[in-house]
A and B are shown apart, each in its own frame.
Chain A
């Protein structure tokens, strides 16, 4: 019976999702004052999926509406997983894990980055080619120069405005 086989497969998958989610949430830790219901998020899409499945099995003739139902099922499946992930990522435990991962990355990246920079700098210096830090230094100087020019421009504008005000006042003043 093909429908019995499909049903068994579906039940197995449902069980796996449920058990996997429970394990996963347990691992992440439950946030303070918040009780998570791991069944709550998958039930709507599971029910939808089951209904679509049952329809296919009983209809006899395949309908193009099945595509729409399948899309709807996948949308709900993604939305449910998105919600579950958001719940888990909103816990302090996740924040801590993420912070530790990043710190580990930075601990590893820092000496490697420094060594690579020193090595490349020495190599480029030997070839008489300006290094990245030298090029960046020049670019930084250009940025600073531009800032100074803008400062001068601002002051000139202020002086011009003041001169215009004085000229206007002189015109209005009695001879």
Chain B
């Protein structure tokens, strides 16, 4: 069939040799598109994610601490704190040659990942304060013990950034060597559409949590889909366009699996998160209290790097950058990189812009 199509293309009258070659390429791609589409629909395969070997170091309730295999040539290990709820953390180790974890471990960092886990109805009483004052200190301590190091770098991504910033600011006894905020909201006055939708004039978080008990995955999904309603259309169009490319299709399948696996928020966590962070903006104002201690970001005195993504509509640069002015560090830097909230840390763009920047900044201080 392929040969027949090529013959047909060569028989189109008035075609230049260049145009004929382009037609030939286009037909070949169309055939590959059909083949890959048939495979996706006819025999869909579960994409393999999380390729970097890892070991479970500790578990508490639903949360896990993982250590990834690496040559460990850097002295200071790295603790990675992602978001709690919303999505699964395998996006950071999605596939070979497309993994932040793989990049950092190849650079010699002893890499620890906090996986908050998937919380159930029995965890609806868990608060932000519990995460910051009970779970995170325990996991951080276990990571430090496991590494045998005397100091540790902490990297918070998305919601993991304000959570880890609260932890670092309220636990001066924990030896933090460096702190990185990657696309994490700090000043919630500039947090974009979510800030508007969760405004107390329009959103009654008490009624929400009292009625539903938690934020179910479908609600989380609805919220994020609403944030960018054309995302699926755009992703579908790009898939069709690149469907001939097996590598693109494999990447799409892995990312699509992650993008459709939403995780619920425990009810009390969501109540505190919305009220104190989104609605009252207490973190940057220095009015937040965790475990009886005021969260004073000025108490973060280690070197700090904040990374904002130019097209981020979940944590726009305007809400990430204020960390730099809020901390008490002398060595502090803010960088704004191309990409959105996810493409900052996952995908081809991330491997070019973000990963090398984070690795080199840390390497110079580890």
Contact = CB atoms under 8 A, between A and B. Distances in A.
B15 interface: yes
Best-buried of A81, A136, A143, A150 by chain B (most CB within 10 Å): A143
A109 B211 CA distance: 8
B204 to A, nearest CB: 7
Contact of A146 (B61, B204, B207): B61
Contacts of B233: 78
Contact of A150 (B22, B60, B199, B201): B60
Interface stretch (B155-163, B181-189, B224-232): B224-232
B207 A98 contact: no
Report which residue of A75, A92, A95 has the largest number of chain B beta carbons within 10 angstroms of its beta carbon: A95
B291 interface: no
| Chain B binding surface, main DSSP class | helix
Contacts of A75: 234, 237
Interface string B197-216: 10101111001100110000
Interface residues of B, number: 40
Interface stretch (B82-90, B119-127, B341-349): B119-127
A124 interface: no
Contacts of A78: 230, 233-234, 237
A89 B211 contact: no
A110 B230 contact: no
B12 to A, nearest CB: 7
Most chain A beta-carbon neighbours within 10 Å: one of B22, B123, B212, B230: B230
Interface in A66-100: 67, 71, 74-75, 78-79, 81-82, 85-86, 89-90, 92, 95-96, 98-99
A64 B230 contact: no
Interface string B111-150: 0000000001111010000000010001000000000000
Contacts of B193: 86, 89-90
A106 B207 contact: yes
B25 A64 contact: yes
B212 A89 contact: no
B23 interface: yes
B26 interface: yes
21 contacts: A61-B14, A61-B19, A63-B19, A63-B22, A64-B22, A64-B26, A65-B22, A67-B26, A71-B237, A78-B233, A82-B228, A82-B234, A85-B229, A90-B193, A95-B202, A99-B203, A109-B212, A139-B121, A140-B122, A143-B61, A146-B61
Interface of B: 12-15, 19, 22-23, 25-26, 60-61, 120-123, 125, 134, 138, 192-193, 196-197, 199, 201-204, 207-208, 211-212, 226, 228-230, 233-234, 237, 241, 313
The 6 closest A-B pairs by CB, nearest first: A99-B202, A139-B122, A82-B230, A64-B26, A140-B122, A95-B202
